[in-house]
């Protein structure tokens, strides 16, 4: 979520907006505004309430109301994610942030082995909150009809809150589909995990998620609906990532960085030329080296850093000119799965291992994969 802007903090949880959110609000506003008459008639039928459309269709009001409904929907999405986060926080799980983006919202939580006793209430909290919001908005429709005498004003309020009621109830139902990465997939996994191993429960839930993704994709292509196709990709990728993530967690459970790191470490000084570093990489078959100066770790240099420099300039330039300063480090006692997460999120291939500010080893992506292969053979 690097392309996100923090807009505040609630209950100690940073709240962020992804750049895609800025695109989807005007898109939703236009879609809602362009179909406002048809939607108003549907809301009137579903709620059994006559709607005066005088103000609703006047001038730019359809698109203004479309914007209000779109923003209201994302308020509902935020409340949905907040419910997940508060339950998780109460269960001792650290919440890094809540981010609103094009397909809704996501709570970024501390990655731990799923516990069905925690996952079940946490997964249910979001959809149930969406249902509660939908029901409250639905009740307000009838309150406005009775309490406000002006039929034109009532029409606007009934449209907005009736629309939000339907959207939040649909959000409730959609999220309970038993398909990863939606809440229903997590509910299914938590229920299955009480009857079988966690890995098998995850595989079944992920496979069901992929089936739903394929169905959404087929319907999307038949109806030429790009939103359904986008949702299909979202579900399929999410299901695959969930199964892969759990596999990594299981294989690397109880393995520390010290179990996988290489030691002693080949290092270079900041004043070494880039051409010499490239020679060392060929000699040692290592694609990166920690950079040491007066016994202290000051950076790390990788083959990718050297490739950014033309072959003509490598002889004149030194390690200090291209190295990554203040590199990410880990303690030997850190879980190895943390190293894998950092490498994946930061797109790096190696992490120096230090203890008491002394370099004691280095762990690479290859080291992590080797440990996984060996443990998979057991």
Rounded CA-CA distance 127/122 in Å is 10
Positions marked catalytic: 81
Best CA proximity match to 361, nearest among 340, 337, 321, 333: 333
The DSSP-derived string for 49-116 is: -----TTTTSTTHHHHHHHHHHHHHHHHHHHHHHHHHHHHHHTT--EEEEEEETTEEEEEE------H
Max CA-CA distance within the chain?
85
Quote the CATH superfamily of domain 257-376: CBS-domain (3.10.580.10)
Rounded CA-CA distance 6/24 in Å is 18
Can you give the residue ranges of every domain in the chain?
Answer: 4-176, 192-251, 257-376
Rounded CA-CA distance 321/267 in Å is 16
Rounded CA-CA distance 168/186 in Å is 20
pTM of the full structure: 0.74
In order along its 378 residues, the chain shows pLDDT tens digits of: 456 778 888 878 888 887 777 778 888 889 889 999 999 999 999 999 999 989 999 989 999 999 999 999 888 988 998 998 899 888 888 888 888 776 666 777 766 667 788 888 988 999 999 999 999 999 999 999 888 889 999 999 999 999 999 999 998 998 898 887 788 988 998 899 888 888 888 888 889 989 998 998 999 899 887 778 888 888 888 888 777 777 788 788 888 999 999 888 899 999 998 989 999 999 988 889 999 988 889 999 999 888 888 877 787 888 899 998 888 899 999 999 888 888 887 888 899 999 988 899 999 998 998 888 887 665
């Amino acid at each position: 979520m690097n392309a996100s802007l923090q807009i505040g903090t609630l209950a100690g949880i940073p709240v962020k907006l992804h750049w895609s959110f800025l695109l989807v609000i005007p898109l939703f506003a236009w879609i809602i505004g362009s179909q406002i008459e048809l939607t108003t008639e549907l809301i009137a039928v579903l709620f059994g309430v006559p709607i005066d459309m005088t103000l609703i269709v006047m001038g730019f009001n359809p698109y203004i109301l479309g914007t209000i409904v779109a923003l209201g929907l994302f308020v509902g999405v935020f409340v949905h994610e907040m419910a997940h986060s508060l339950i998780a926080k109460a269960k001792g799980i650290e919440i890094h942030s809540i981010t609103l983006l094009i397909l809704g919202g996501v709570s970024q939580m501390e990655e731990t082995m799923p516990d069905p006793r925690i996952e079940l209430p946490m997964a249910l909290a979001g959809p149930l909150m969406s249902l509660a919001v939908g029901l409250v908005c639905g009740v307000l429709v009838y309150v406005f009809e009775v309490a406000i005498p002006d039929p034109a004003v009532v029409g606007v309020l009934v449209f907005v809150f009736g629309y939000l009621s339907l959207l939040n109830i649909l959000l409730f139902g959609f999220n309970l589909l038993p398909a990863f990465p939606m809440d229903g997939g997590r509910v299914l996994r938590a229920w299955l995990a009480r009857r079988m191993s966690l890995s098998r429960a995850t595989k079944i839930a992920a496979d069901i998620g992929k089936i739903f993704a394929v169905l959404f994709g087929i319907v999307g292509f038949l109806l030429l609906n790009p939103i359904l196709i986008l949702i299909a990709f979202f579900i399929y990728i999410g299901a695959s990532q969930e199964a892969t993530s759990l596999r990594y967690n299981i294989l690397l459970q109880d393995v520390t960085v010290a179990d996988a790191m290489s030691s002693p470490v080949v290092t270079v000084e900041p004043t070494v030329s880039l051409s010499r570093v490239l020679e060392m990489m060929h000699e040692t078959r290592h694609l990166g080296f920690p950079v040491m100066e007066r016994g202290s770790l000051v950076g790390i240099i990788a083959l990718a850093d050297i490739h950014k420099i033309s072959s003509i300039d490598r002889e004149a330039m030194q390690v200090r000119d291209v190295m990554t300063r203040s590199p990410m480090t880990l303690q030997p006692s850190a879980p190895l799965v943390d190293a894998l997460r950092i490498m994946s999120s930061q797109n790096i291939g190696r992490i120096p291992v230090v203890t008491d500010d002394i370099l004691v080893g280095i762990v690479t992506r290859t080291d992590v994969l080797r440990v996984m292969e060996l443990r998979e053979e057991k």
